[in-house]
Structure 1
Amino acid sequence: MKTNILILLVITSFFSCYSQDTLVALDKDLTTVKYPFDVKFHTFKSQGQNLRMAYVDVLPSSNANGKTALLMHGKNFSIAYWEQTIKALRNEGFRVIAADQIGFGKSTKPEYYQYSFQQLAHNTKSILDSLKINKINVLGHSMGGMLATRFALSYPEMTEKLILENPIGLEDYKVLTSYQTIDANYQSELKNTVESYRNYQMKYYYDNTWKPQYDRWLNLLAGWTMHKDYPIVAWNATLTMDMIFTQPVVYEFKNLKCPTLLIIGTRDRTAIGRGRAPKETQSKMGLYNKLGKKTHKAIPNSTLIELENIGHLPHIESFDRFIKPLTDFLKK
């Protein structure tokens, strides 16, 4: 009987780890985490290193429309949180590609890397080239919105349509707040805990209301803080934060050539470095109810969909309100 109970506990622990419904320590490569789709790895050499990017290539379930969507995740996320979006797009006839950028998810966490949005866009294009994909619809959320913008600017011939879901970088943070060195940022990253991540997300993503379905995405991030690999994860998080802060895309929105859809949860108040800004400036940062309209005016041939009372994660917080304008736009 004791043996059977022990086996049951092991099995339960195994599947809890894979589903991320419970919090467990996670290594830097998320080797114990099973994504909702089969993961492939694109290996390549960059900056003198052998690297690999995890990605999924999900084919249409039926009635293929010949179009491909590329999904770019935010800084605190990975391929996994696109699960519902990928399934919906697949059912609409799209082929869907989603990748963990270098430094994120199951992809390589280098000890040294010169991060830039141009480099990440180039890395992502190398996956598409290996798959012989030459036309793409790009969806980027949060940091992925900055990357998607850079991708569209760098490869306009490939980018048919651009969708920005609550992207960060709608304002230039470095003119609003003070710079924090990489060393100082790294020390801050090392202090992250389950509680600090939950408190941040609850305040800025979910209007101080936590729901059980959010645990899955929190656990994927917070599980790293419990593992001995966390210093290298934190180091890469630090380098990508510096990239976000020092490489604005806001001044180049006017140069976008493709039709662009902005999906903006207006309750979002995400702003990088707000805590270092003068008090009179802090309350003026991250006002997505205003930034969405401002960005819409800056991007030629753009459409703005504002989702009232939705925060930084529309596709998690209110999927039905997110997916309809997305699919309507892509099917035009």
Structure 2
Amino acid sequence: MTKINLIIIFIFTPLLIYAQKENLQNLEIDLSNYEYPYKVSFIDLDIQKQKLKMAYMDVKPSNYNNKNILLLHGKNFNGAYWRETIKALTEKGYRVIAPDQIGFGKSSKPENFQYSFQQLAQNTKAILDELGITKTAVLGHSMGGMLATRFALMYPDVTEKLILENPIGLEDYKVVVPYKPIEWWYNNELKKDYESIKKYQLESYYDNKWDTAYDEWVNLLAGWTLNDNYEVVAWNAALTYDMIFTQPVVYEFKNIKSPTLLIIGTRDRTALGKPLVDEDTRKKMGLYYELGKKTQAKIPNAKLVEIENIGHLPHIESFDKFINPLLDFLK
């Protein structure tokens, strides 16, 4: 790269970031002013002494093949980021159900809630019961991979196949990371803004290589920070961090009964609590090129597909390399 090119990047990159930030939309905490790619429905939940609404997309194609697949989103996302995945699956005849978990997306953000993967799995099962779906494949990404694992363990007769896409929780973070109270995570969330959210995704997800297709997933989080009620979103985010940290599923992989596919972007280095440990420990965390193989060995009847030089979001960063093994596995 020439000196002139470096100067141009140095001058115009901050201007581009500023322009993107200035165009940022103030999003309602229920995302009522953000349109999902497919029709959104809601189920009423009466749990933990409160009435909550859980959003979901139920996309049933005209060429329905009597097979279903449940898509479970990650912590920094919602059901909308499955847009291209839903399109590809429905074209092949699959009925797709993509919920927003409580605390995420268009679903309720309770001021107080005891988060557990068991509770989230039970909420998700309530949607399937409402739709009359008794069998489904279950695909979980990132935090959704931990939830998908818990769902498969709780409902083995419902889970025909299990797909884990770069799931977090392939290691027990609390073994090496010091515990922090929920208030600590909450204060961290309150500090977030457009710049810090994009910086995290750029470095953690995309190896410092940005594509404009990634903007939407930054804007959804950053738009919330502009809302006067952002504290509610931040508090729910803090509660789910504590859930992830204190409720590992890694010790129960051996109990999974469903045929399982691991889709692993090997460049991924995601791990909870990295800033809280020393450099030597940090270097050993989130090594997905090792964790994928170790996890395959733990899960009976598991298949591993490794996607080289792809990070935490294969279905966003390299869709073809993600969807083809998924479709082959679902056949």
Is 1:108 the equivalent of 2:108? yes
Quote how far apart the aligned CAs of 1:27 are.
1.4
Q: How does 1:277-288 map to 2 (within 5 A)?
A: 277-288=277-288
d(CA) in 1 for partners of 2:168, 2:33: 30
The equivalent residue for 2:40 is 39
The equivalent residue for 2:134 is 134
Is 1:164 the equivalent of 2:191? no
Given that 1:59 and 1:90 are in contact with CA atoms closer than 8 Å, whether structure 2 keeps it comes out as yes
The equivalent residue for 1:17 is none
Quote how far apart the aligned CAs of 1:47 are.
0.5
d(CA) in 1 for partners of 2:52, 2:252: 30
Quote how far apart the aligned CAs of 1:198 are.
0.5
Quote how far apart the aligned CAs of 1:23 are.
2.1
Q: How does 1:129-278 map to 2 (within 5 A)?
A: 129-278=129-278
Counterpart amino acid of residue 297 in structure 1: A
d(CA) in 1 for partners of 2:150, 2:57: 21
Counterpart amino acid of residue 167 in structure 2: P
| Identity rate, percent | 65
User: Per the alignment, in what secondary structure is the counterpart of residue 98 of structure 1?
Assistant: strand
d(CA) in 1 for partners of 2:40, 2:132: 18
Quote how far apart the aligned CAs of 1:184 are.
1.1
User: Per the alignment, in what secondary structure is the counterpart of residue 51 of structure 2?
Assistant: strand
Deviations 1:59-90 (CA, angstroms, capped at 9, x unpaired): 1242x211100000000000110000001000
Given that 1:61 and 1:91 are in contact with CA atoms closer than 8 Å, whether structure 2 keeps it comes out as no
Given that 1:256 and 1:300 are in contact with CA atoms closer than 8 Å, whether structure 2 keeps it comes out as yes
Structure 1 unaligned regions, length at least 5: 1-19
Counterpart amino acid of residue 289 in structure 1: Y
Quote how far apart the aligned CAs of 1:279 are.
2.2
d(CA) in 1 for partners of 2:283, 2:248: 21
Quote how far apart the aligned CAs of 1:221 are.
1.1
Quote how far apart the aligned CAs of 1:304 are.
0.2
d(CA) in 2 for partners of 1:61, 1:277: 51
User: Per the alignment, in what secondary structure is the counterpart of residue 167 of structure 2?
Assistant: coil
Given that 1:27 and 1:228 are in contact with CA atoms closer than 8 Å, whether structure 2 keeps it comes out as no
The equivalent residue for 2:319 is 319
User: Per the alignment, in what secondary structure is the counterpart of residue 53 of structure 2?
Assistant: strand
Counterpart amino acid of residue 49 in structure 1: Q
The equivalent residue for 1:301 is 301
Deviations 1:115-138 (CA, angstroms, capped at 9, x unpaired): 000000000000101111100100
Deviations 1:71-118 (CA, angstroms, capped at 9, x unpaired): 000000001100000010000110000000000000000000000000
Given that 1:72 and 1:140 are in contact with CA atoms closer than 8 Å, whether structure 2 keeps it comes out as yes
The equivalent residue for 2:16 is none
TM-score scaled to structure 1, two decimals? 0.92
Which ranges of 4 or more aligned residues in structure 1 deviate by more than 6 Å? none
The equivalent residue for 2:55 is 54
User: Per the alignment, in what secondary structure is the counterpart of residue 133 of structure 2?
Assistant: coil
d(CA) in 2 for partners of 1:157, 1:263: 23
Quote how far apart the aligned CAs of 1:268 are.
0.3
The equivalent residue for 2:7 is none
The number of residues matched between the two structures is 311
Counterpart amino acid of residue 38 in structure 1: K
Counterpart amino acid of residue 48 in structure 1: K
d(CA) in 2 for partners of 1:298, 1:61: 39
d(CA) in 1 for partners of 2:142, 2:253: 16
Counterpart amino acid of residue 155 in structure 2: Y
d(CA) in 1 for partners of 2:236, 2:165: 24
Given that 1:177 and 1:278 are in contact with CA atoms closer than 8 Å, whether structure 2 keeps it comes out as no
Query: What is the root-mean-square deviation in Å for CA atoms of aligned residues?
Result: 1.2
Given that 1:41 and 1:52 are in contact with CA atoms closer than 8 Å, whether structure 2 keeps it comes out as yes
Quote how far apart the aligned CAs of 1:148 are.
0.2
